[in-house]
Structure 1
Amino acid sequence: MRNFTPIDHAARVSAIRSLLGTGELGLDALLFTDYNDIRWLTGFTGSNGWVVVRPDQAVLGTDTRYGERAAAETEGSDVEILAFHYRSELHRALIKAAGTGTVGLDARSTTHAQWKQLAVDMSLASVESIVGMAREVKDYAEMERIEAAATAADAALQEVEPLLFGTSDLPLTEADIRDELEYRMRRHGADDRSYETIVAAGPDHAARPHHEVGRRTIVEGDTVVIDVGALVEGYHSDMTRSYVIGEPTAQQRDIYELVQVSQTAGLAALQPGATAAAVDSACRAVFVEAGYADWYLHGTGHGVGLQIHESPFHSQVSNDVIQVGNVVTVEPGLYRSGFGGFRIEDLAAVTADGHRVLTHHPKRPFNTSFST
């Protein structure tokens, strides 16, 4: 039984309406079409809809498949629900709800064709989504759900990890490990997986940061990268652990240790006021100094919330600044075809005095005995 703190959608809607009421935005209304923005603002989880917020009202439009669901999910949020059978009716309702003034819309949440169609009937202004920016900082209720997702993934990996090291009587494939992880995450309270679970084994597959799981049998000598996350009430978790099957070589030990040192440096740099680029640099500098810069094939991390990848992004080209309430990954890795690869990833909540790690499964790449 879940006893999460309720999310106060009414307060969120009120805050957006208040911003418009002050006039400082220079807008008469805001239109939201991104489904994650809509969910964060109102609680509605359907796959068709829009929200118009004006100083005096907030309206959610959807089709009749979702009418009752929208009313139930937004109850108490002071959002008016409009549900229509035909797309043309829904479009006319949107035009009416938006009014005759200037309407702010994040151009990234709609296609060029949709923008052109809307612009025929309303005065649009391109603005960065206020909800999108607010979503970067998680409140207590959101943290509860993210931590529950992380706990489910921790528990699943705790149960499945021994299978890698011979506690199963049968040869196991990447797909076998993936399937066990996803089943057990649900058993531990997840609604779903957070993303396509990655189990990448061997000198070629483990060299691909986003390998698609196949039927390859996991064998002695393999490096194995497992990237696993759970989904709870729309909120994601994200974690990666890496392994060597059997006795590791000296090279495998050295490169794993290098990744571990890099991740420790990245976590140490994760604090409010730091730039996301500085977090990336802290990890990257370890690899550059050791001569492995060209083995590092991606950025160091990203925000996590209603989306598995959202701001802030840790990379050399990022302009993001870390804030209290961000939930982010720190996930350096080294990869090379013929060798395989290692990645170590933790999810962390940024706090006033640094950060708090949310993923707790131990990092034990070479262990070959487990209590079951």
Structure 2
Amino acid sequence: MSRIARLASRLEEPLLVTGLVNVRYLTGLESSNAAVLVDPSGDATLYTDFRYAEAASEIDGVTFRKTPRLVIPALSELLSGRRVGVEAAHLSLASAEALRAGGVDLVSTSGQVEALRAVKEPGELDAMRRAGAISDRVYEELAEQPFVGRTEAELAWWLEQAWHDAGADGPSFDAIVAFGENGARPHAKLRDVPVPEGTLVVIDAGCAVDGYCSDCTRTFFTGEPDGRLRKLYDLCLQAQLDGLAAVRAGAAGRDVDAASRVAIEAASLGEKYGHGLGHGVGLDIHEEPSLRPESDSVLEVGNVVTIEPGIYLAGDVGVRIEDMVVVTEDGCERLTAVTKEPVVVG
């Protein structure tokens, strides 16, 4: 069954899909300006402007209708008098008002396409396995690079080039490279400050292959992996292994998250692990399902999620270890498999 047919089978009224990643998922069209209307009958109409008309007209399973450059005002006329569902997360207030002003009766919906995207098809998993394999190779090459004396920004630029050299489309997000106190910020900004000896360097990076993302974090030592820093690293690694062990079809997202917190809380550092364990990955770097304390997700075979606990000592140092995995009936398959043994870089 096609993606559009699967979506249609869930609908009670036509759904106007305006999230561009969702449009791509359903139709294959990569566009900065498009929408697709999916009817419960299975009929689908793809709307976009002249720039994408040739590509849109070649897509099977949809009827293409060319619009002026401003798609939403055009739809306010084309759909006038109809009742349609809209994606609340992707339709701006201004666009909603324009549709209503044209006489379109809007019904707010959420997560309809995202629920389909959360369970990956074999072709999607193939792309993500290739992205994970490239990630592993690049991280292995990264471990051979000099760190000390180079800035966070310089190392991030090395990664940018390495993804292309390894055959990826490019990075799946802006890399995080952070040492010392900057590493204690989960979403640290790059600095032009040289990496010193005797610290930890957190590197969170990924690539895209055929539009599908990888996501992996490793923490490197710029000195002997012993003492206080080694204890923090080993504690984070234990939490990550515990999280991995809890992943399986049918597991609640909040329970998998909880499993990763046991060791850190036992070390009286629970408050230093302030984010969720992980998130779904696919065409977007963050998508469903979620693994965090308040999650209502239940894992299914074919979900791809990250397992990434961290410990962050403000003003001092941070450590995070992350793998991307695909959920199986009785566990998970790691899509990023580069070593998690302590790695010392020069």
User: Does TM, normalized by the shorter one, top 0.5?
Assistant: yes
**Alignment partner, residue 36 of structure 1:** 21
Give matches, 1:114-129, under 5 Å.
114-120=95-101, 121-129=103-111
**Alignment partner, residue 176 of structure 1:** 154
Tell me the amino acid that sits aligned with residue 46 of structure 1: S
Distance 1:208 1:56, change over 3 A: closer
Whether the aligned pair in 2 keeps the contact of 1:155 and 1:185 (CA below 8 Å) is no
Shift of the alpha carbon at 1:11? 1.5
**Alignment partner, residue 188 of structure 1:** 166
Q: In the alignment, which of 256, 260, 285 is matched to residue 233 of structure 2? A: 256
Q: Which runs of 5+ in 1 are unaligned?
A: 1-9
Instruction: Report percent identity of matched pairs.
Output: 37
Shift of the alpha carbon at 1:151? 1.5
Whether the aligned pair in 1 keeps the contact of 2:68 and 2:74 (CA below 8 Å) is no
| Cα deviation digits, residues 196-250 of structure 1 (max 9, x gap) | 1011012x11111111112111111121001010011211110000011012341
- Kindly indicate whether residue 85 of structure 2 is the aligned counterpart of residue 104 of structure 1: yes
Tell me the amino acid that sits aligned with residue 79 of structure 1: V
Q: In the alignment, which of 137, 144, 148 is matched to residue 155 of structure 1? A: 137
Tell me the amino acid that sits aligned with residue 116 of structure 1: E
Q: Find the aligned partners of 1:357 and 1:351 in 2 and give their Cα distance.
A: 10
Q: Would you say how many aligned residue pairs link Structure 1 and Structure 2?
A: 344
Q: Find the aligned partners of 1:71 and 1:229 in 2 and give their Cα distance.
A: 33
Q: In the alignment, which of 106, 123, 133 is matched to residue 115 of structure 2? A: 133
Tell me the amino acid that sits aligned with residue 114 of structure 1: S
> What SS does the corresponding residue of 1:342 show, helix, strand or coil?
strand
Q: Find the aligned partners of 2:42 and 2:327 in 1 and give their Cα distance.
A: 35
Q: In the alignment, which of 54, 57, 60 is matched to residue 46 of structure 2? A: 60
Shift of the alpha carbon at 1:190? 0.8
Distance 1:71 1:94, change over 3 A: farther
More deviation in 211-220 or 110-119? 110-119
Shift of the alpha carbon at 1:165? 6.0
More deviation in 52-61 or 299-308? 52-61
> What SS does the corresponding residue of 2:167 show, helix, strand or coil?
coil
Q: Find the aligned partners of 2:42 and 2:140 in 1 and give their Cα distance.
A: 51
Q: Which runs of 5+ in 2 are unaligned?
A: none
Tell me the amino acid that sits aligned with residue 119 of structure 1: R
Tell me the amino acid that sits aligned with residue 233 of structure 1: D
Q: Find the aligned partners of 1:112 and 1:93 in 2 and give their Cα distance.
A: 15
Whether the aligned pair in 2 keeps the contact of 1:52 and 1:94 (CA below 8 Å) is no
**Alignment partner, residue 63 of structure 2:** 80
Distance 1:361 1:288, change over 3 A: same
- Kindly indicate whether residue 21 of structure 2 is the aligned counterpart of residue 14 of structure 1: no
Tell me the amino acid that sits aligned with residue 154 of structure 1: D
> What SS does the corresponding residue of 1:356 show, helix, strand or coil?
strand
More deviation in 53-62 or 182-191? 53-62
Tell me the amino acid that sits aligned with residue 191 of structure 1: D
Give matches, 1:1-372, under 5 Å.
11-17=2-8, 19=9, 25-27=11-13, 29-54=14-39, 55=41, 57-72=43-58, 75-76=59-60, 78-87=61-70, 91-93=73-75, 95-96=77-78, 98=79, 100-120=81-101, 121-164=103-146, 171-202=149-180, 204-367=181-344
Tell me the amino acid that sits aligned with residue 58 of structure 1: A
Whether the aligned pair in 1 keeps the contact of 2:173 and 2:285 (CA below 8 Å) is yes
Q: Find the aligned partners of 2:57 and 2:339 in 1 and give their Cα distance.
A: 43
Q: Find the aligned partners of 1:342 and 1:145 in 2 and give their Cα distance.
A: 29
Shift of the alpha carbon at 1:164? 3.8
> What SS does the corresponding residue of 2:261 show, helix, strand or coil?
helix
Tell me the amino acid that sits aligned with residue 168 of structure 2: A
Whether the aligned pair in 2 keeps the contact of 1:230 and 1:237 (CA below 8 Å) is yes
Q: Find the aligned partners of 2:327 and 2:21 in 1 and give their Cα distance.
A: 22
Whether the aligned pair in 1 keeps the contact of 2:220 and 2:345 (CA below 8 Å) is no
Q: Find the aligned partners of 1:94 and 1:117 in 2 and give their Cα distance.
A: 7
With normalisation by structure 2, the TM-score equals: 0.93
Shift of the alpha carbon at 1:337? 2.8
Distance 1:254 1:80, change over 3 A: same
Q: Find the aligned partners of 1:246 and 1:129 in 2 and give their Cα distance.
A: 46
